[in-house]
Amino acid sequence: MALYSEKVMDYFMNPRNVGVIEDADGVGEVGNAKCGDIMKIYLKIKDDIIDDAKFETFGCGSAIASSSMATEMIKGKPLAHALQLTNKAVAEALEGLPAHKMHCSVLAEEAIKIAVKDYYDKNRIAYDPNQFPDLDHEEH
Ligand code: FES
């Protein structure tokens, strides 16, 4: 059996939403200390809706596919929806990731949350800090 699904290969070979949003409303960057991979997510937000999402991922194929899929999944959606996106949902949308590659999809979930938090912080929008549990561990 192939290690990677066709979806993973497709999103890795033809990633959607690669790039930078220069005037992003929220930016989230995370890294995985073990593998050294880094992911950055840029969000453009209008009236609580994610108008645009882009990513830069310096990492493995699964991380690239995960960030590509995750940005697709949150575009056009309300912020609350983006905050509920789990790495599991991203992996499922990719038709699965090998067990030892699940952590790559965690980067996508966390980078999106940090980008939304960045938007809230910049605009002094009040939020429940419990919405962003233990994100700090990846930031340092
Ligand atoms: Fe580092 Fe995939 S191996 S994110």
104 is catalytic: yes
Q: What is the pTM of this model?
A: 0.94
CATH of residue 65: 3.90.1010.10
Please give the residue range of the domain that contains residue 96: 6-123
* Residue 60 annotated as catalytic: no
Q: How many domains are there within the chain?
A: 1
59 lines ligand 1 (CB under 6 A): yes
The pLDDT profile of the chain, 140 residues, written as one tens digit per residue, is: 589 999 999 999 999 999 999 999 999 999 999 999 999 999 999 999 999 999 999 999 999 999 999 999 999 999 999 999 999 999 999 999 999 999 999 999 999 999 999 999 999 999 998 888 777 554 43
| 129 Cα: distance to centroid of ligand 1 (angstroms) | 27
Catalytic residue, from 35, 48, 81, 95: name it: 35
Quick one: pLDDT at residue 139? 44
The separation between CA 134 and the C-alpha centre of its own chain, rounded to angstroms, equals 16
- Order of all β-strands in the sheet with 49-58: 26-31, 38-46, 49-58
Given this model, what pLDDT does residue 140 score? 39
In this structure, is residue 93 part of a structural domain?
Answer: yes
